[in-house]
Structure 1
Amino acid sequence: MIQRIVYFPSLRKLLLRAGSNSASSKIGTNNCFASQPSPLRSHSDDEYADVDWDSLGFGLMTTDYMYITKCCEGQNFGQGQLSRYGNIELSPSAGVLNYGQGLFEGTKAYRKENGGLLLFRPEENAIRMKIGAERMCMASPSIDNFVDALKQTVLANKRWVPPPGKGSLYLRPLLLGTGPVLGLAPAPQYTFLIFASPVRNYFKEGSAPLNLYVEENFDRASSRGTGNVKTISNYAPVLMAQIQAKKRGFSDVLYLDSATKKNLEEVSSCNIFIAKGKCISTPATNGTILSGITRKSVIEIARDHGYQVLLSYIYVATT
């Protein structure tokens, strides 16, 4: 079955406006880094990386620095350090390689017209990682450490933040079970790291409508599983359905609930909203759906602007 999903540009504008006005998302000017294995190169505030910003897409473009810190099971993460972007070393018996004990987050930094930098609700990503870490039996950074690490990473890679209106600096925090383990058990050591890449629109269609393929043969998540946390093991299983959909000319896959195959749940890479007039519907987070920060923000902003938001099952006919 083919379902056309119409993009809702007015909510996007409200969302970006809210992010620009959020006091908690401002990045300070004090650039106090922990000790690094090599000194940070100094760049002037008005210097940009050598990038064709008008041709920017959503792909990996490695930047200068990444943030990394480690801790053992039962301990707390301390202050990490910035180092040059590069490969990391893992034991073949690392928990993340053998049992998929890993989480990731995704957030962005934006450049204001006056040159200032903004993060969009980074504390929400920190909270979601802590919830996911508890579910996956992992140590996790505190909310303050998480947000501070994001700020350090952005400031170290400031020249890679696109000019206003040209995109954003995508930040990918990773929490990995890197300690060696053989039997099925939590890893004895964990690594928290953040790398960054300048990006523009995730979908090549930009703000144009997307064609989504409604998938009936594969499930994204099942009841009482891990669909509600951002574990790395949730994403590789969707690749087959996504590749098949794109070969048919679709933008992405829209999944149905695994129990009845009658209700919309999520797209491979994001939550979904159905808008009609001043009413917006989105599936409730019932254990199989990721509680997205963008989702939460859209709901809050829409209600503030007089929209009725329904959190419920969205029935779809598949015959």
Structure 2
Amino acid sequence: MLNNTDYKNLGFECRETHANYISYFKDGSWDQGTLKKDSCLTISAFSTCLHYGQEAFEGLKAYRRKDGKIQLFRPNDNAKRMQRSCKRLLMPEVSIEKFIDACEQVVKANEDLVPPYGTGATLYLRPFIIGVGDNLGVRPAKEYIFSVICSPVGSYFKGGLAPNNFMITTNDRAAPNGTGSYKVGGNYAASLWSHHIAKENGYADCIYLDPLTHTKIDEVGAANFFGITKDNKFITPKSSSILESITRKSLMHLAEKELGMEVIEGEVFVDKLDMFTEAGACGTAAVISPIGRIDYEDKKYTFYSETEVGPVTRKLYDMLTGIQYGDVEGPVGWVHLIK
């Protein structure tokens, strides 16, 4: 490593890097794209991304393996999810090949900033697409920017793999039949106030209920929810207003194929949380954050422990991170080695 960063104590924050990737869409096509040294963009003040929220983004990580090589985890899935978001917001798609090539270029340009194996830290990649140019009316932009920025990061929640407490909010992050299942900025803007209230009251984050009936769990802040039942079932919400998490999809596979659990994607009613012995939030940034307790109105639901990680959650975490860091061989197509 060429720097003296204390990787074991990194938080989830922006840090200066060497280069980022940028590509422009004009006259109906994307240019070849290039690396640039700074993370600043110059765009028109009339850009649709600023006024009408026409933007989408992704999040994935570059992992340093024990042998020193670097790999990405399921980047094809991130590329496909971004394409889906672009379709919904009437933006031009980026091909899977261009998406992965851009990520590779950024990783190689910042190779010495990919944290060492064993620190628990990674190089977080943030690909995004924004509508730019001179636009005034509510309509899709004619020009777009696709960029990949990066930063070395540690755990999203303080304490790493340790239980956190959450509160259930009655606010909504997405509307029924809206954009909740797409990775677009508007969903996150809608979550800022509820997250702020949760933090002010001493919680790691808030949990959102389904926006139609407010009877079922949808998402945990910016992550997905899963629970382990007393009879060893892995249950996670199924809803049209939650993001299709790549981490959650991976955990569902591991729970079924490696741990022999029955995996159910269905309704998780808030008044039946006592059926879970363990619960967690999962996502690219958080990986897995065990849930120690959920507070809702005058009820408190405690799971395995508020101080210790449950055995099933621990196994799932170890298997998933083992694959991500190259210690465990994963299913075909899950790992993309940077060459």
Normalising by structure 2, what TM-score? 0.78
Q: Is the 8 A contact 1:77 1:142 kept in 2?
A: no
Per-residue deviation, residues 44-99 of structure 1 (Å, max 9, x unmatched)? xxx333311222111111211000001126x2324210110231101010110111
* 1:146 aligns to 2:110 (yes or no): no
Deviation at 1:168, TM superposition (A): 0.4
* 1:52 aligns to 2:6 (yes or no): yes
Corresponding position of 2:302: none
| Runs of 4+ with deviation above 3 angstroms | none
Q: Is the 8 A contact 2:173 2:190 kept in 1?
A: yes
Corresponding position of 2:75: 122
* 1:312 aligns to 2:312 (yes or no): no
* 1:67 aligns to 2:21 (yes or no): yes
* 1:197 aligns to 2:197 (yes or no): no
Which moved further from structure 2: 272-281 or 161-170? Answer: 272-281
Structure 1 residue runs without a partner (length 5+): 1-46
CA distance in structure 2 between the partners assigned to 1:82 and 1:49 by the alignment? 21
CA distance in structure 2 between the partners assigned to 1:297 and 1:265 by the alignment? 18
Corresponding position of 1:186: 140
Which of 223, 227, 243 is the equivalent residue of 1:290?
Answer: 243
Corresponding position of 2:116: 163
* 1:280 aligns to 2:234 (yes or no): yes
CA distance in structure 1 between the partners assigned to 2:153 and 2:39 by the alignment? 19
SS at match of 1:310: strand
SS at match of 2:166: strand
Q: Is the 8 A contact 1:228 1:288 kept in 2?
A: yes
* 1:267 aligns to 2:211 (yes or no): no
Corresponding position of 1:111: 64
Deviation at 1:240, TM superposition (A): 0.8
CA distance in structure 1 between the partners assigned to 2:187 and 2:10 by the alignment? 28
* 1:136 aligns to 2:78 (yes or no): no
Per-residue deviation, residues 220-264 of structure 1 (Å, max 9, x unmatched)? 112110001001111111111111111110000100011111100
CA distance in structure 2 between the partners assigned to 1:153 and 1:140 by the alignment? 20
Q: Is the 8 A contact 2:21 2:149 kept in 1?
A: yes
CA distance in structure 2 between the partners assigned to 1:233 and 1:54 by the alignment? 33
CA distance in structure 2 between the partners assigned to 1:54 and 1:225 by the alignment? 39
Residue type of the alignment partner of 1:268: G
Corresponding position of 1:36: none
Normalising by structure 1, what TM-score? 0.82
Which moved further from structure 2: 289-298 or 268-277? Answer: 268-277
Residue type of the alignment partner of 2:264: L
Per-residue deviation, residues 122-158 of structure 1 (Å, max 9, x unmatched)? 0100000000000000012101100111011001000
Corresponding position of 2:285: none
Q: Is the 8 A contact 2:174 2:190 kept in 1?
A: no
SS at match of 2:191: helix
CA distance in structure 1 between the partners assigned to 2:137 and 2:215 by the alignment? 39
SS at match of 1:151: helix
Residue type of the alignment partner of 1:237: A
SS at match of 1:235: helix
CA distance in structure 2 between the partners assigned to 1:219 and 1:58 by the alignment? 25
Deviation at 1:165, TM superposition (A): 2.0
CA distance in structure 2 between the partners assigned to 1:99 and 1:260 by the alignment? 28
Residue type of the alignment partner of 1:65: A
Aligned residues: 270
Q: Is the 8 A contact 1:174 1:193 kept in 2?
A: yes
Corresponding position of 1:35: none
* 1:213 aligns to 2:167 (yes or no): yes
Residue type of the alignment partner of 1:163: P
SS at match of 1:93: coil
What is the Cα-based RMSD across aligned positions, in Å?
1.2
Structure 2 residue runs without a partner (length 5+): 272-295, 298-339
